[in-house]
């Protein structure tokens, strides 16, 4: 009978040993995106072959990326994101025990050869990848004595590359007492390992102990690595116990995440649907600071009164305020006029990133257009004149504003 036809992966030639030089971080990140897309496409029709693709990638990451400068952290983050994205394919693949045994040996070898822990996400979930209890126990026992001996030696630090995968296998094999005993011999407690102990307690229904176990690391005088993850773990337990408001105050607000202030607000609103969204925004502004920088989030969330409070703050970006004055001139002219006035005030005070006198022109145009729509042209013009009369830090902006006021008074602006 003919053997199985091996899938020809397009990514393999580009992930050969030594393929990338010192300054190839950006190129490597792009390569990872294309590799992930290729594997995920195969997974839609052939999940087992796709899982083998994940293993092939894992085997090639360190040899291919060994010589790249990783000081920026961009490549490490990209590798982690890629593996987290692909791990479900590997874990859920319909493979028999013999096939998984082969996969685990290949992954174990790759982890042992990994020079910078690129494969940490795989080690973290090694027990899940094992799937079968016999394989979990096999890999849990493989280096258990060596790890215990190394971690018990407090006179010197000994890193064991298979430590994390061993903890993962002990956890998934439900060998909780052995797992906790192993962790207890370490001199230094770090979440990288202790998360398995906390999860072991949680899986046994020992919620209060799990919470105390994790919270103790947050109380460490040093800023514990994984602080964000520890807080999220504690938050999850409190929510599970029905203590949502406490979870929100103690852990939700401090760990709100997102690339923008708006994304941070949306993150918390999603996590706490029973808490007033407006209140969440106000709490974030209070706890995070930089009130002016929350203007765009408040505006987009349609809390225009809060947005105005943010717009008045000195760290609100004039350019952002001017765009808002333009965008709201028709649908919310009163709001647009006031936002534009704040922008003018900030420009006169010398605020903003690389401001130009042309910004004054645009701000005045939008302010007056909005004011006329609500029949407040004269009043708003007087307010602009008042701003101009006050001492200004930026002489060029002040001169430009006086010129625009003159044009407006003559009916030309």
Within a domain: residue 359? yes
Ranges 18-27, 53-62, 249-258, 293-302: which has the least confidence: 249-258
Percent of the chain with pLDDT over 70: 95
Ranges 38-47, 125-134, 246-255: which has the least confidence: 246-255
Within a domain: residue 312? no
pLDDT at 275 over 50: yes
pLDDT at 265 over 90: yes
- So what's the pLDDT on residue 2? 46
Within a domain: residue 45? yes
* 168/406: higher pLDDT: 168
Domain co-membership, 87 together with 227? yes
- So what's the pLDDT on residue 1? 40
For Cα atoms 272, 275, 277, give the angle at the middle one, nearest 5 degrees. Answer: 95
Domain co-membership, 26 together with 172? yes
Q: Rounded to whole angstroms, what are the CA distances from 61 to 11, 14, 16, 116?
A: 12, 11, 9, 10
Single out the residue in 247, 265, 283 at which a domain terminates: 265
Single out the residue in 249, 265, 281 at which a domain terminates: 265
151 touches 186 (CB < 8 A):
yes
- So what's the pLDDT on residue 5? 64
208: Cβ contacts below 8 Å, ≥ 6 apart: none
Domain co-membership, 74 together with 219? yes
- So what's the pLDDT on residue 225? 73
Task: Give the Cα separation of 295 and 324 in Å (integer).
Answer: 10
**At which residue do the structure tokens 């390992």 appear?**
193
Within a domain: residue 311? no
- So what's the pLDDT on residue 392? 65
Single out the residue in 230, 265, 300 at which a domain terminates: 265
Domain, as residue range, for 371 = 317-409
What average pLDDT score do residues 231-255 get? Answer: 93
Domain co-membership, 260 together with 325? no
* 359/152: higher pLDDT: 152
Domain co-membership, 259 together with 321? no
Within a domain: residue 292? no
Ranges 143-147, 172-176, 304-308, 345-349: which has the least confidence: 345-349
* 375/224: higher pLDDT: 375
- So what's the pLDDT on residue 211? 97
What average pLDDT score do residues 116-127 get? Answer: 96
Dihedral sign from CA coordinates of 367, 368, 371, 372: negative
Q: pLDDT digits over 29-77, tens only? A: 999 999 999 999 999 999 999 999 999 999 999 999 999 999 999 999 9
What tokens were used for 258? Answer: 């997102």
Domain co-membership, 243 together with 330? no
Among the residues of 219-332, which ranges form H helices? 227-240, 244-247, 261-271, 277-288, 295-300, 304-311, 318-327
* 206/397: higher pLDDT: 206
- Mean pLDDT rounded to a whole number for the chain: 90
Q: Choose among 168, 160, 167: nearest CA to 181.
A: 167
347: Cβ contacts below 8 Å, ≥ 6 apart: 318, 355, 359, 360, 363, 394, 397
Instruction: Report the half-sphere exposure of 83 (CA within 13 A, side-chain side).
Output: 25
Domain co-membership, 253 together with 333? no
Domain co-membership, 28 together with 125? yes
Domain co-membership, 116 together with 207? yes
pLDDT at 296 over 60: yes
Give the distance between the most distant pair of CA atoms in the chain: 94
Domain co-membership, 70 together with 201? yes
Domain count, the chain: 2
Domain co-membership, 354 together with 238? no
Within a domain: residue 130? yes
Within a domain: residue 362? yes
pLDDT at 371 over 90: no
Backbone angles phi, psi at 78, to 5 degrees: -65, -40
272 touches 280 (CB < 8 A):
yes
What average pLDDT score do residues 108-135 get? Answer: 97
* 59/220: higher pLDDT: 59
pLDDT at 135 over 90: yes
Domain co-membership, 252 together with 363? no
Within a domain: residue 300? no
């Amino acid at each position: 009978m003919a053997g199985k036809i091996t899938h020809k992966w397009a990514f393999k030639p580009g992930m050969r040993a030594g393929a990338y030089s010192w300054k190839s971080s950006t190129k490597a990140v792009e390569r990872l995106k294309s590799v992930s897309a290729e594997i995920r496409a195969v997974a839609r029709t052939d999940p087992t072959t796709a899982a083998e693709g994940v293993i092939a990638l894992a085997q090639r990451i360190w040899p291919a990326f060994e010589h790249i400068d990783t000081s920026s952290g961009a490549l490490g983050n990209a590798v982690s994101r890629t593996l987290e994205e692909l791990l479900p394919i590997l874990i859920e693949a319909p493979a028999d025990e013999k096939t998984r045994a082969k996969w685990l040996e290949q992954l174990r070898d790759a982890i042992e050869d990994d020079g910078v822990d690129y494969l940490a996400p795989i080690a973290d979930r090694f027990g899940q990848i094992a799937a079968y209890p016999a394989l979990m126990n096999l890999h849990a026992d493989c280096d258990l004595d060596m790890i215990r001996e190394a971690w018990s030696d407090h006179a010197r630090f000994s890193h064991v590359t298979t430590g994390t995968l061993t903890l993962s296998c002990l956890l998934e094999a439900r060998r909780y007492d052995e797992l906790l005993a192993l962790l207890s011999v370490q001199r230094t407690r770090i979440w990288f390992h202790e998360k398995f102990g906390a999860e072991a307690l949680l899986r046994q229904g020992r919620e209060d102990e799990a919470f105390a176990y994790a919270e103790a690391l947050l109380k460490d005088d040093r800023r514990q690595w994984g602080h964000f993850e520890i807080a999220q773990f504690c938050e999850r337990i409190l929510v599970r116990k029905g203590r949502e408001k406490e979870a929100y105050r103690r852990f939700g607000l401090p760990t709100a995440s997102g690339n923008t202030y708006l994304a941070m607000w949306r993150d918390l609103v999603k996590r706490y649907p029973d808490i007033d969204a407006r209140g969440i925004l106000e709490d974030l502004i209070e706890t995070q600071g930089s009130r002016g920088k929350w203007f765009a989030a408040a505006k987009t969330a349609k809390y225009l009164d809060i947005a105005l409070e943010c717009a008045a703050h000195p760290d609100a970006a004039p350019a952002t305020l001017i765009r808002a004055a333009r965008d709201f001139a028709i649908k919310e002219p009163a709001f647009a006029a006031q936002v534009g006035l704040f922008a003018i005030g900030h420009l006169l005070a010398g605020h903003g990133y690389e401001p130009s006198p042309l910004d004054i022109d645009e701000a005045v145009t939008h302010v007056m257009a909005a004011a006329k729509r609500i029949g407040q042209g004269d009043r708003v013009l007087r307010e602009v004149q008042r701003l101009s009369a006050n001492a200004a830090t930026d002489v060029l902006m002040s001169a430009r504003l006086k010129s625009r006021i003159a044009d407006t008074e003559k009916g030309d602006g």
